[in-house]
């Protein structure tokens, strides 16, 4: 079912921010005791290295650093934020939410609302869609949406799947701002039948992944989702300036480009240096693209992601 396909002319991305841990693990280090090679990881997944949180560094730490970066970039003070949404699949604790913990770590003392969104790699798209509706209906003026994950803490480093993930966080400050020709449109979907294809079972320390099932679902659902949101808004791929997708693997992204019949060069990626940062991939990449000066007023951005569950969704936004 489609969830939320309205235009929110009053929603504006005021700023972006990001943070990754300083520790870097290269393919050579990761696969040293695995039955694969560093070059295989590059060729098949597009990954050369990833950032990994220290043992005492948690999702809320990454979220707080990215959130403060976005707040500073917006020219705001932390207490000017009305709501904090943290999209994560690797919260610090079962309770309280990582958003509440990050609130304290950011020094936000205004008692603003804070909660987590659990939609795994699609969490950030879910999060900004929720935030956009709060802004549209007038409940909040400024919302900080953060995607943050530390998958290194649920990774079995003796299993081949460990090469896929890295840790990181990205954030945006959304605010109310009436704009001519504004565009903020999202669709969200889920299919619970995929619950066992990528999961952490109760009592388990590490994730389990059916790589083939993930590839098949991503390369089918993502193109369909993109085509649907463009159809809803009367647009074509030619109208989209920048495509920022979830960074699953380069193989997945290349196949999606083929299905959409577009050059792979049209798809933004940071897999080589960051790997798959799960719920952080879209906001982390968005911040990097923004800071490189690749976004211009009037550009139409397409954000799209898919995660375990299955959960997936897409957002269109006019910069």
Active site residues: 121, 246, 276
Q: How many CB atoms lie within 10 A of CB 298?
A: 9
**CA atoms of 8 and 65, how far apart (whole Å):** 28
User: Would the CA dihedral through 262, 268, 273, 276 be positive or negative?
Assistant: negative
Total length of the chain: 319
User: Where are the alpha helices (H) located in 106-161, listed in sequence order?
Assistant: 123-136
DSSP secondary structure letter of residue 299: P
**CA atoms of 258 and 128, how far apart (whole Å):** 28
**CA atoms of 171 and 57, how far apart (whole Å):** 18
Q: What is the CA radius of gyration of the chain?
A: 18
Question: Do 125 and 282 contact (CB within 8 A), yes or no?
Answer: yes
Question: Do 304 and 246 contact (CB within 8 A), yes or no?
Answer: yes
Phi, psi for 21 (deg, rounded to 5): -60, 155
Mapped onto helix, strand or coil, the DSSP state of residue 143 is: strand
**CA atoms of 137 and 129, how far apart (whole Å):** 13
For 188, the token pair is 């969200």
Question: Do 117 and 108 contact (CB within 8 A), yes or no?
Answer: no
Report the relative pairing of strands 198-199 and 208-209 from DSSP bridges.
Answer: antiparallel
User: Would the CA dihedral through 199, 243, 21, 94 be positive or negative?
Assistant: negative
**CA atoms of 72 and 60, how far apart (whole Å):** 18
**CA atoms of 9 and 318, how far apart (whole Å):** 10
């Amino acid at each position: 079912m489609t969830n939320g396909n309205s235009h929110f002319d009053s929603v504006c991305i005021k700023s972006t921010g990001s943070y990754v841990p300083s520790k870097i693990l290269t393919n050579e280090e990761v696969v040293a005791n695995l039955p694969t090679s560093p070059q295989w990881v590059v060729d098949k997944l597009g990954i050369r290295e990833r950032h990994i949180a220290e043992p005492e560094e948690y999702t809320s730490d990454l979220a707080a650093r990215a959130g403060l970066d976005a707040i500073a970039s917006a020219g705001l003070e932390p207490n000017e934020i009305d709501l904090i949404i943290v999209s994560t699949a690797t919260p610090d604790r079962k309770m309280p939410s990582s958003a509440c913990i990050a609130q304290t770590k950011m020094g936000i003392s205004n008692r603003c609302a804070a909660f987590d969104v659990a939609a795994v790699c699609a969490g950030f798209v879910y999060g900004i869609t929720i935030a956009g509706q709060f802004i549209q209906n007038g409940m909040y003026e400024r919302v900080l949406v953060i995607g943050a994950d530390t998958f290194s803490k649920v990774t079995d480093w003796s299993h081949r799947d460990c090469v896929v993930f890295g840790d990181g966080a990205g954030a945006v400050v959304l605010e109310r701002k009436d704009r001519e020709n504004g565009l903020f449109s999202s669709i969200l979907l889920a299919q619970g039948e995929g619950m066992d294809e990528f999961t952490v079972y109760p009592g388990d320390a590490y994730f389990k992944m059916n790589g083939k099932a993930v590839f098949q679902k991503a390369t089918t659902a993502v193109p369909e989702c993109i085509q649907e949101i463009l159809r809803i808004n009367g647009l074509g791929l030619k109208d989209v300036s920048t495509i920022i997708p979830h960074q699953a693997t380069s193989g997945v992204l290349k196949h999606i480009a083929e299905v959409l019949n577009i050059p792979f060069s049209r798809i933004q990626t940071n897999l080589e240096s960051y790997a798959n940062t799960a719920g952080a991939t879209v906001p982390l990449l968005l911040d990097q693209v923004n800071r490189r000066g690749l976004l211009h007023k009037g550009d139409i951005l397409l954000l799209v992601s898919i995660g375990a569950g299955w959960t997936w969704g897409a957002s269109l936004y006019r910069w």
